Amino acid sequence: MGQRVQQRIFRLSWVLLLTLGIPCMEMEFVVHHVSFRNVFPSTAALVAQDSAAIAPRMLHGPAAEAHWSDDTAERTESAAEDQEAEAKERNIRELIQLLGSDQYATRRRAQIELEYLGLEAFEALQEAFQDADPQIAASARYLINSAQIQWATEQDPPEVKEILQNYDLRSSSQRKSLMDRLAVLPRNEGWEALCRIAKYEPGNGLSKYAAMLLMNKRSDLAPDERIELANLILDKVGRSRRASSNWLKSYAEMLQDKSKETKAWVAIAENEHSLLDAGSEDTFGELVQTLYQWTALWSQEQDQRDDALRMARGAVRIVGDDPMALRNSAYWVIDHGFPELVEEMESENNKLFAKSAELTYCLAESFRVRKENEKAEDIAGTAFANRSAGMIPTRDPRDFRTYRGFGLQGRGLFDWSEREYRAALENTRMLDVVSLKSRYFLGEMLHDLGRDDDAGKLWEEVLAELEKTGESFRQQLQVNLDLAGFFDPSAIISQAYLYQGISLAAKGDLIQARVKYNKAFEADGDNADVLIAMYRLDGDEAWRKLVLQRIRIVGEYFQTQINQKEQEFDSAGALGIATARKDLATMNNQFAWLISNTEGDLQLALRCSQRSLELEPQAPGYFDTLGRCHYALGELEEAVTTQRKAVEMEPFAMAMQRQLKLFEAALEQKKTGAAEAKP
């Protein structure tokens, strides 16, 4: 028998049973039988349609028959769609009320229809959790909890499908992590899935978190992306009444420049805080803090300073007395224009600030930002004198200064950072693990600041002993660097020689600079920065020929690695895809950086750079490389735009700042020349 004939038989049987109202066991068996759902999926869909049409007529009269009426010719398509949606909602609400019927057959029919309606009934069933009739509330919970939602669709990209696999079996914290992964996928691949979660995730707190991840995209969106996201939200969220959906619809209006409202968002944030204080399961601390921060920035953009401060205070106070959370909140208020709030934080948490050097440095930074330098230096001195171990447990108690220095470096507080690093170096042996850590981080910072002479001197005694003692010292150095957490000791030795070579070249000692560069290349032949420095060094024809040969060989090696990493990425499973993605992005960036700073196929370098950003769209260093590619191709406007994005993402990377100035100067010169050339 053909499948079409079978479908007709099943369909007619179902219609007859529903019409007669017979609660037979055979009917229930047909509905729930696994093979029926698998073999006749289209029949199951037809059954759902028929049951939604016939049961309302039989059970609750003409009021439920609105969706049976034909659209009149005068109605617009939009009005017809609204009427159909309203009819569906009305039908669903009536079916939910039948879950409380005294008649078992009626309850079962309603339950079966709601099951087949699936996600269309999801929101109304959730609302029914609070129904005054305990039978309705219990049945609604049962239907939601027993539903097997297909969180990924056939149209989803492969990585979205991988992330959402078994989503319904995950814990709340795991679901949150999966949403975070969706939010950072390249090419906006995770947007639709986040809309889906915001609309259908059973947990109200998690559904709001999905919405918040989309809302946090606002400042990163290009004009066309703003319209794309707004349209996607309105299409996918539709008529949903959930809090998360309402947030997104208001956000979509903001993206379309239809709303500049701030007061409503202030009320939403404070209401969410009230839910948290009341112990509601519909929210959680991180969500409330993020909502406060988001609203503070939106209010500030609209020149509502009082509301912005009010929201920023809410974001700070919600963290309580957790030292690390307080530090992160202090960073946030300083970075976003509310540095005066750190004083309030210190006043409310005086003992914690006095105990923690990191928090004291935050207070000092808040004064430096406000140009109160004398007070800032005094407080920073107090922080330096504090010998507390710090917030991060370390294997060696002497490491606290290294970690402090690293934290201050990341904040752009280079003078305070250097003082901590140099204090860590005092009274330590040359190959001491703590000494090597501080030596490395300080050297990298000095190099980034353009102080290669100071960076080279840091490693002077180590390199001198290496050249004097030879292999035994090298092995011990590599072992200790490995213990310090550096997995490529040869690269660190190469960098140390590079600092010295750059310093010598700047002083005009080209012969010795060449010697140091060769040693750097011998230590790590894949170090693109060494090859770039060699390329820029003046030399005779033999030197230039040697350098170009090395660039060609290393470039070919990078291309081979890119091809290999592409294959590994394509075949990577769920556990290995993140590593494969990172490795592939790194190789593309390495090739692009090398070629764009020397010679080779610049168009290929540009494509590789773009590929690295497809894979890792939040990497500032990759934008730095893309800017260099555009510059090498003479695309100066694109170079400046891209480099500004890199600097915006990592404002305290001084090498990036210098490259931006180079690009801006070239662009200005081009514009000036073009203006002078006009008659």
* pLDDT per residue as tens digits for the range 370-397: 999 999 999 999 999 998 877 776 667 7
Is a pLDDT exceeding 90 seen at residue 286? yes
DSSP state of 650: S
pLDDT at 648: 94
Q: What confidence tens digit (pLDDT) does each residue in 122-175 have? A: 777 777 777 888 888 888 888 877 766 778 989 999 989 999 998 988 999 999
The confidence band for 677, taking pLDDT boundaries of 50, 70 and 90, is low
What mean pLDDT comes out for the span 545-549? 97
Q: What confidence tens digit (pLDDT) does each residue in 323-357 have? A: 999 999 999 999 999 999 999 999 999 999 999 99
The confidence band for 39, taking pLDDT boundaries of 50, 70 and 90, is very low
Is a pLDDT exceeding 70 seen at residue 10? no
42 vs 544, more confident: 544
Give the DSSP per-residue string, 491-545. Answer: HHHHHHHHHHHHHHHHTT-HHHHHHHHHHHHHH-TT-HHHHHHHHHS---HHHHH
Using alpha carbons, select from 614, 668, 653 the residue that is nearest to residue 186: 614
Residues contacting 35, CB < 8 A, separation 6+: none
The confidence band for 79, taking pLDDT boundaries of 50, 70 and 90, is low
pLDDT at 573: 79
673 vs 401, more confident: 401
Distance between CA atoms of residues 631 and 39, nearest Å: 59
The confidence band for 29, taking pLDDT boundaries of 50, 70 and 90, is very low
The confidence band for 678, taking pLDDT boundaries of 50, 70 and 90, is low
CB 424 within 8 A of CB 405: yes
365 vs 89, more confident: 365
How distant, in Å, are the alpha carbons of 154, 584, 595 from that of 608? Answer: 30, 10, 10
Q: What are the boundaries of each domain within the chain?
A: 3-146, 577-677
Which amino acid makes up residue 128?
A
What mean pLDDT comes out for the span 104-114? 86
Using alpha carbons, select from 409, 390, 464, 401 the residue that is nearest to residue 428: 401
How distant, in Å, are the alpha carbons of 525, 590, 618, 657 from that of 448? Answer: 21, 18, 21, 10
Is a pLDDT exceeding 50 seen at residue 477? yes
Minimum mean pLDDT range among 197-201, 251-255, 425-429: 425-429
Mean pLDDT of the chain: 86
Is a pLDDT exceeding 80 seen at residue 368? yes
What mean pLDDT comes out for the span 186-206? 92
Is a pLDDT exceeding 60 seen at residue 8? no
Distance between CA atoms of residues 465 and 453, nearest Å: 19
Distance between CA atoms of residues 516 and 667, nearest Å: 34
Minimum mean pLDDT range among 22-26, 137-141, 410-414: 22-26
Minimum mean pLDDT range among 227-241, 551-565, 664-678: 664-678
CATH of domain 577-677: 1.25.40.10
Please tell me the pTM assigned to this model.
0.78
pLDDT at 133: 86
The confidence band for 679, taking pLDDT boundaries of 50, 70 and 90, is low
Q: Tally Cβ neighbours within 10 Å of residue 171.
A: 8
How distant, in Å, are the alpha carbons of 54, 91, 136, 210, 568 from that of 57? Answer: 5, 10, 21, 39, 58
What mean pLDDT comes out for the span 407-433? 94
CB 18 within 8 A of CB 54: yes
pLDDT at 93: 84
The confidence band for 77, taking pLDDT boundaries of 50, 70 and 90, is low
What mean pLDDT comes out for the span 239-245? 90
Minimum mean pLDDT range among 24-38, 41-55, 285-299, 509-523: 24-38
Question: What percent of the chain has a predicted confidence (pLDDT) above 90?
Answer: 62
Distance between CA atoms of residues 413 and 407, nearest Å: 9
pLDDT at 675: 65
Residues contacting 655, CB < 8 A, separation 6+: 448, 450, 624
Is a pLDDT exceeding 50 seen at residue 201? yes
pLDDT at 246: 95
CB 300 within 8 A of CB 337: yes
Using alpha carbons, select from 605, 615, 607 the residue that is nearest to residue 585: 615
pLDDT at 388: 82
pLDDT at 362: 98
CB 165 within 8 A of CB 152: yes
Q: What confidence tens digit (pLDDT) does each residue in 629-662 have? A: 999 999 999 999 999 999 999 999 999 999 999 9
State the burial class of residue 211 (Cβ atoms within 10 Å of its Cβ: 0-12, 13-18, 19+).
Answer: buried
Q: What confidence tens digit (pLDDT) does each residue in 557-596 have? A: 999 999 999 999 999 877 788 899 999 999 999 999 999 9
What mean pLDDT comes out for the span 476-485? 88
The confidence band for 471, taking pLDDT boundaries of 50, 70 and 90, is confident
Distance between CA atoms of residues 292 and 289, nearest Å: 5
